[in-house]
Structures are given as structure tokens and as C-alpha cells.
């Protein structure tokens, strides 16, 4: 009997082509993130969930009576009730590093867009108001190569960002839970004070230590005047209201954001009305290359599950596992 998988996203043709050769043993049912009717219809029969972003609550997991594995397509499992999964004997696995190349490129994209005032200049150019050039461009726009870039968190993604911006001439600092002995390590207060661009690369955790609102009003005020904040990690790492205040006042020069405190972003979110913010809808990971890596790892773990082998990258200790 085929292994039943509930994939919580809608596939493109390349995804379907990739999985065609597995159809004899893998029965994949597709469900859009916002389609709760299909989700709850398929959930009781699912043995595996390929999870993206739509939260999986304890109540959801209780309805999944056959479920054995939640496989996160990505690294962060903050959208899964991992404790509830463990109690029910459900393994939760992730894919550390699989999206690192794509997210790192998306991070640098947002850095450049924020530093070079891309959103405002794009809008003005489309309106025919880009000429003559704003004289403030020469007073405010920066090259990455002339900046100090501070990386908050120093995992797979941050290290790739470091390689890219260092190749462009930037000075790079980093911080993490404790000093790693490298000469570029700084404590968070010092890193914030010394960096022209601060880029966030930490998971959203309740702790200890907690990363919720890791950058609040005090931390944002400690950044260099006119500095740029980039966040491709999780929206909850930043106090969003304090960020809006800092951007409106000009205390921060700009921000590049792929993640938000509440997703999807509400139309009345004040960040959407600011010209000094470059925005993408949590898609810095979403490339054909990352999807290929995700599918390779997801199928491999399903094969292990089918064959009774130990699963890869399990992040919890499920009862009876």
C-alpha cells in the first residue's frame, strides 16, 4: 500500500515531474495553505505531512490518527506544536541548510534594495518622476562594500551571506549565543552599535534564551543612525511596532523584510506604507533549486519511514520512537 502524504502547498509542473517516478509507492495529496476544507478532509488519512508555513496545532495533530511524520520543508519548526507531536508519537523533522543558498541570496537582495532605495526609486520611475535625480541619493545611498554588516546568528545562511558581502568588500561582524573565539564575533550591543547593516538569522524560540522581540525599541535605538535592518528569519524576532516607529522617525534609514509578525501581512500593516522598506512575502527560500533539494530530502525520509529505517533530522523525541 502506498504511503499517504499530505503536502501543504500547491505543486508546479517541475514538482510533479520530479515525483512522477515515485508514484508507485508515494500517494501525495496536495492542499493549498489556505484551503482548510481539503486539509481537514485529508488529515485523518495522512501518514506524513510535508509542512511549509500554515501552523499545525495540537488540535490538528490529534485529528491525524495515522500520522507518523511531520517533515518541515525548511529549517524552522516554530509553526508546529512539537510538544504535542512528541506526546502523540509523531516525529518532526526539518531540513537544515537546504534553503541556505536561496535565503542568503534573498538576504543580499533585500540589503541592496534597502541600501539603494529601490522601492521608492522604482515607484518614482514608473510615475515619470525619477528625473532629475534626488540630490539626497548621493547623501544617503550606500555601497555594501563601504558598510559594516552585522550578522545576528551565525548558521548556514549567515555564513553564506558573509561570503557574498565580504566578496563585495564589506566588513563583516557576527554574534551568536556565546563567543566562538573568532575575531569577527561581537556581543549583540556592540554589533548593533558598529554595523551599518544588521541582518537577522536566528530561529524564533521561546528560550531559554528567547529570541521573541530580540530587537525591541532599545536595541533599535542602539543601532547606528540611518542603519539598515534586514530580516529573513522570523517576524517575531523584531518588535514590529518599534520598527515602524524607528523607520518613520528616520532613526533607521531603511529595512528589508521577508518575514512579519503576522503572516499573511494585513493590508493595514503600517510597514506597507513606508517608502524606506523593501518587502517580499516570505519567499526568500522559494526557488526551483531549493524546491528540488526539499523534495529530494522529503522523499528520502518517506522512504526511510516506509522501510523502517531511522529518520533523518528529527528534532523531537516522540513517544515510542
Q: Are residues 232 and 169 in the same domain?
A: yes
Cβ atoms < 10 Å from Cβ of 52:
17
pTM (2 d.p.):
0.88
In order, the DSSP letters of 193-228 are HH-SEEEE------SSSP-TTSB-HHHHHHSPTT-E
Using DSSP's 3-state secondary structure scheme, residue 72 falls into: strand
Residue 42 lies in a domain: yes
**In this predicted structure, what is the pLDDT of residue 289?**
94
Helix 100-115 to helix 118-126 angle, to the nearest 10 degrees?
60
Provide the CATH number for the domain around residue 42. 3.40.50.720
Residue at grid coordinates 524546491? 291
Q: Which residue positions in the chain have pLDDT lower than 70? A: 321
Q: Catalytic site residues? A: 234, 263, 282
Q: Are residues 157 and 205 in the same domain?
A: yes
Domain residues for 85? 3-94+287-307
**In this predicted structure, what is the pLDDT of residue 136?**
84
Q: Are residues 220 and 243 in the same domain?
A: yes
**In this predicted structure, what is the pLDDT of residue 209?**
83
Q: Are residues 201 and 267 in the same domain?
A: yes
**In this predicted structure, what is the pLDDT of residue 17?**
95
Residue 319 lies in a domain: no
Residue 300 lies in a domain: yes
**In this predicted structure, what is the pLDDT of residue 3?**
97
Residues 6+ positions from 315 with CB-CB distance below 8 Å = 77, 82, 92, 93, 94
Q: Are residues 224 and 136 in the same domain?
A: yes
Q: Are residues 82 and 113 in the same domain?
A: no
Burial of 148 (0-12, 13-18, 19+ CB in 10 A): middle
Provide the number of structural domains found in the chain: 2
Amino acid at each position: 500500500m502506498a504511503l499517504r502524504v499530505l503536502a501543504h502547498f500547491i505543486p508546479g509542473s517541475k514538482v510533479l515531474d520530479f515525483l512522477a517516478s515515485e508514484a508507485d509507492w508515494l500517494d501525495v495529496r496536495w492542499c493549498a495553505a489556505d484551503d482548510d476544507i481539503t486539509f481537514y478532509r485529508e488529515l485523518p488519512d495522512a501518514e506524513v505531512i510535508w509542512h511549509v508555513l500554515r501552523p499545525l496545532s495540537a488540535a490538528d495533530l490529534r485529528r491525524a490518527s495515522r500520522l507518523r511524520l511531520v517533515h518541515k520543508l525548511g529549517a524552522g519548526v516554530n509553526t508546529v506544536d512539537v510538544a504535542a507531536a512528541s506526546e502523540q508519537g509523531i516525529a518532526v523533522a526539518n531540513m537544515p541548510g537546504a534553503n541556505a543558498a536561496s535565503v542568503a541570496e534573498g538576504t543580499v537582495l533585500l540589503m541592496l534594495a534597502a541600501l539603494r532605495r529601490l522601492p521608492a526609486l522604482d515607484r518614482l520611475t514608473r510615475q515619470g518622476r525619477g528625473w532629475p535625480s534626488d540630490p539626497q541619493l548621493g547623501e544617503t545611498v550606500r555601497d555594501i562594500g563601504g558598510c559594516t554588516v552585522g550578522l545576528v546568528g551565525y548558521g548556514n545562511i549567515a555564513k553564506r551571506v558573509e561570503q557574498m558581502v565580504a566578496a563585495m568588500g564589506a566588513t563583516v561582524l557576527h554574534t551568536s549565543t556565546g563567543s566562538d573565539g573568532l575575531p569577527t564575533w561581537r556581543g549583540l550591543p556592540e554589533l548593533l552599535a558598529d554595523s551599518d547593516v544588521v541582518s537577522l538569522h536566528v530561529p524564533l524560540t521561546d528560550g531559554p534564551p528567547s529570541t521573541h522581540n530580540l530587537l525591541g525599541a532599545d536595541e533599535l535605538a542602539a543601532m547606528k543612525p540611518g542603519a539598515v535592518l534586514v530580516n529573513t528569519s522570523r517576524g517575531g524576532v523584531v518588535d514590529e511596532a518599534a520598527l515602524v516607529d524607528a523607520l518613520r522617525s528616520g532613526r533607521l534609514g531603511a529595512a528589508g523584510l521577508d518575514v512579519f509578525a503576522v503572516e499573511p501581512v494585513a493590508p493595514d500593516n503600517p510597514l506597507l506604507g513606508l517608502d524606506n522598506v523593501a518587502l517580499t512575502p516570505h519567499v526568500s527560500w522559494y526557488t526551483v533549486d531549493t524546491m528540488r533539494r526539499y523534495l529530494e530530502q522529503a522523499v528520502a525520509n518517506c522512504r526511510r519511514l516506509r522501510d523502517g529505517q531511522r529518520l533523518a533530522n528529527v528534532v523531537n523525541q516522540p513517544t515510542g520512537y
